[in-house]
Structure 1
Amino acid sequence: MRLSVPNIPPSILSKSALRKTQGVSSAEAVQRIASFLSLGHTAVLTGAGVSVDSGVKAYRGKDGRYMNPDYKPIFYQELIEDSPRGYSFRQRYWLRSYIGFLPVRRTIPNPTHHALAALQHAGVVGPLITQNVDGLHHAALRRILSEPEVDQRILELHGSIFKVNCQHGHVYPRTVFQAWLGEANPHWRTFLAELERTGAQPKTNPDGDVVLDESVSYDDFVVPHCPSCEGEGRRNSIIKPDFVFFGETIRQDVKDRSYSIVEGANRLFVIGTTLATYSAFRLLKRALELRKPVLYLNVGPTRADGLPGVDKLEIPTSAVMADVVHAVV
């Protein structure tokens, strides 16, 4: 089976390159968003665009194309392969992720995260579905609501970078696994400490994977075995982040809940995403099938461009969302 990184269909990108985008002023955008949200019972779907102002890199640029066309991600079946080849994939992934987790862990919510949290707290919008694994929506809402309430209000469609799980279902905090990686690889722990001391930051992808020099060898990097599995009499190094990899299927309960959120709302507000992944695009399709109004806030081409029933505003989220809160609340 051939796997590839999800992307916007070339037919949409080619049309986007030819069309001239009609600009919209911040004041007009704020008024249109506020009017849309003030009708109530709105579900929200977000993507990488809302986290860019927090320093989290997006996969795709304003032209809708993959920002690093030479990047070759590790696919799910490669990472979980129980063989020497699979272990080599895990060595590559976890070394890069060990270094890349540092800048992701340091990120903080930006005004768009806080604006959406305020709108949720005020009851203007309902549940929020995010494709992001950075935990920033949780961090913003956690400042005003308890953890159980936050979990009820936010669905992480693709999981979280702050947990890892093993092949047999044992789950650990990412910070704990990060410490295990450092203990097993003292040379790289020293390297990471030097990065922290100097403030240097490698080029990082949204899931915490970094770009390392081609001369780097992964052969001596040690991936720890799951201690719970060892306690059960087995050795198991098949450990992955608790988010959906390329080629991996979303859990059925998460899929069901995402549909339930869209179906239970009166309208859908899509913000900061190209919807290149079908897991998110199908939620917009479901809203349109049910004839729910859809407002789309994003800069650049998206998979939804040209679909009847989608009202799109092309303006950065940071330019309008704080003012939307004042206008509505």
Structure 2
Amino acid sequence: MRGRHVVALTGAGCSTESGIPDYRGEGTLARARRPVRFEVYAADPVARARYWSRAVVGWPRFCAAPPNAGHRALARLERAGIVRAVITQNVDRLHQAAGTREVVELHGALAEVRCLACGALEGRAELQERLLGLNPGWLDHEAEIAPDGDADLETSLAEFHVAGCRRCAGVLKPNVVFFGEQVPAAIVERAYALVESAELLVVLGSSLTVFSGLRFVRRAEALGTPIAIVNVGPTRGDALASLKIEARLGELLPRLAERLA
């Protein structure tokens, strides 16, 4: 990394040490359930009620999760001019909370919701207050936090009321890319431009299982750009990497920042 233009691609492994579960990490596959697909969410009121009934319970812990040592070390490496940008698959905005300025959010952020009818945006915190007003006492339900601010909640949905858009009463959706949706073209092109300008691509905490992240590793490899991967467990990009390190980011990145920054 020393003396090179470095771009980082980060995944859920960056945030697990902040208490946010992932879909494919250590011990996850045994408990993970399939996330809702966009076409189901958009068409089925019951699917939306199921999503929001769980999200209301998961949100307080999700939004309270703090940046960890790995996030802070990446921000320090950016301030030192070593890491030029972070492309992230995460939707928690912990990179920004830690102080990183140049962040491309491939999958959006749970901090916002968007109306599928008129496109209006609303803060997720504001929507939480509206949902609790419609469903008093819902936070009394106890559940384990799940990936993407969800919660493992099993209860009747008969009495759960979903809030609509304040502008047009349309269907609200978290402003994130659901399974079955495409990453917006402008975001993809911005990320490609960063990868094409890099002299080293560092993959941090991603299994690269989904194409939205793997494509940037493939582009770097096609350009002859060195690739370093730090992840606990195998990734789909291991065969393309010049260096693979099995380590926890909260332990390795602070040591790296101390040496380089």
TM superposition score category, shorter chain reference: over 0.9
What code does the residue aligned with 1:187 have? G
Corresponding residue number in structure 2 for 1:15: none
Segments of 4+ in structure 1 off by > 6 A? none
The reply on whether 1:306 has 2:239 as its aligned counterpart is yes
Task: Return the offset for 1:53.
Answer: 1.0
Fraction of identical pairs, as percent = 37
CA drift of 1:299 comes to 1.2
Q: Which residue does 1:30 correspond to in 2?
A: none
- Which residue type is aligned with residue 13 of structure 2? G
1:171 and 2:128 are equivalent in the alignment: no
Tell me how far apart the structure 2 counterparts of residues 175 and 256 of structure 1 sit (CA, whole Å). Answer: 30
Residue in structure 2 matching 1:78, options 12, 32, 40: 40
Alignment-mate amino acid for residue 181 of structure 2? E
Structure whose alpha-carbon radius of gyration is higher: 1
| Structure 2 CA distance for aligned equivalents of residues 186 and 261 of structure 1 | 46
Q: Which amino acid aligns with 2:144?
A: K
Residue 305 (structure 1) shift: 2.5
The aligned residue for residue 227 of structure 1 is 166
Distance 2:59 2:137 in 1: 17
What is the CA–CA distance in structure 2 between the aligned matches of 1:161 and 1:202, rounded to whole Å? 19
Q: Which residue of 1 aligns with 2:79?
A: 121
| Structure 2 residue ranges without an equivalent (≥5) | none
Please report how far the alpha carbon of residue 323 of structure 1 lies from its aligned counterpart in structure 2 after TM superposition: 1.3
Residue 152 (structure 2) aligned to one of 211, 214, 228: 211
SS of the counterpart of 1:38? coil
Which of 105, 111, 131 is residue 156 of structure 1 equivalent to? 105
Verify the 8 A CA contact 1:133 1:207 in the aligned structure 2.
Answer: yes
Shift of 1:59: 1.1
Mapped to 2, the partners of 1:321 and 1:113 lie a distance apart of: 8
- Per the normalisation by structure 2, the TM-score is 0.95
Structure 1 CA distance for aligned equivalents of residues 230 and 63 of structure 2? 27
RMSD (Å), alpha carbons: 1.5
Give the corresponding residue for 2:251.
Answer: 319
**Conserved in 2, the CA contact under 8 Å of 1:91 and 1:219?**
no
Offset at residue 187 of structure 1 (A) = 3.4
Q: CA deviation at 1:75?
A: 0.6
Aligned length: 260
Query: How far 1:67 moved relative to its partner?
Result: 4.2
- SS at 2:236 equivalent: coil
> Could you list the runs of 5+ residues in structure 1 that have no partner in the other structure?
1-36, 143-149, 196-200, 230-234
Q: What TM-score, normalized by structure 1, do the two folds share?
A: 0.76
Deviation string for 1:123-155 (max 9, x for gaps)?
Answer: 11101001111110010016xxxxxxx2xx011
In 2, the alpha carbon distance for the partners of 1:310 and 1:284 equals 11
Contact kept, 8 Å, 2:13 with 2:231, in 1: the verdict is yes
